[in-house]
Amino acid sequence: MKAFLLAGGLGTRLRPLTDSTPKCLLPVQGTPLLQIWFDICRQYGIDEVLINVHSHGDAVRRFIDEHKDSLRVRLFEETTLLGSAGTVLANREWVDKERSFWVFYADVLTTANLNQMLAFHCSRGQIATIGVYEVPEPSRCGIVQVDERGVVFDFVEKPKAPVGNLAFSGLMLATPALLKFIPDNYPVDLGFHVLPQIVGRMAAYRIPEFLIDIGTLETYRAAQDIWPGRSPSQEQGGFRV
């Protein structure tokens, strides 16, 4: 199975740490975020990964060469940032024949059981399934409303007046049908430009496990204390579709 690992952001809110180190290589309890994601991918049967980068591309390339092991990793360098959905669209031929593929935001740290999320996605038959979780500051996130069937009927990115606190986690499963909803003008963002178009046709999977978005110095420092590590109780092996 394939996964996009979105790592092209500049990490401006994490400066000065990101002045010399790409955000995806910042360590959490001594382990770079990218290494954590490589381990997660191997654990859940994800064998092909595409990583987009913008700044510090050489450092990311060296890390991939030294740590990819059995993973097949494609590095996609963006001289101009294309946006989270733009990266997917620019590499549509890589996934347009897949039944489903993952999209991960590389600055998310989680112990989510991806086998369970994939099984949920396969049982719903929607264009996409987004992982959702409750957040303390909903105005900074993509906020969803979900019906009793688990189908998203409203999605607003960074709402000024949030109607709830159930937010997009940065973990998504998509089918190639999603590609036709991505505008071909760049930059284009999943939260602002794509997910609102598919309300009623995407499912929401509630993530009960640990998840934190490492977008600021505050959350990055918090992660050093509260990250529980990858749980040995998580189911091993990949759920296949």
To 5 degrees, how large is the angle CA 136–CA 31–CA 80? 70
Per the residue annotation, which of 2, 68, 97, 158 is the catalytic one? Answer: 158
Q: How many CB atoms lie within 10 A of CB 125?
A: 10
Active site residue 158: yes
| Under 8 Å between Cβ of 7 and 53 | yes
Q: Which residues pair with 122 in a beta bridge?
A: none
| Under 8 Å between Cβ of 97 and 176 | yes
Q: How many CB atoms lie within 10 A of CB 42?
A: 16
| Under 8 Å between Cβ of 217 and 96 | no
Distance separating alpha carbons of residues 146 and 202, to the nearest angstrom = 10
E strand or H helix at 104, and its extent? strand 101-105
DSSP notation for 19-80? GTS-GGG-EETTEEHHHHHHHHHHHTT--EEEEEESSSHHHHHHHHHHH-TT-EEEEEE-SS
| Under 8 Å between Cβ of 211 and 169 | yes
Distance separating alpha carbons of residues 222 and 232, to the nearest angstrom = 22
Active site residues: 158
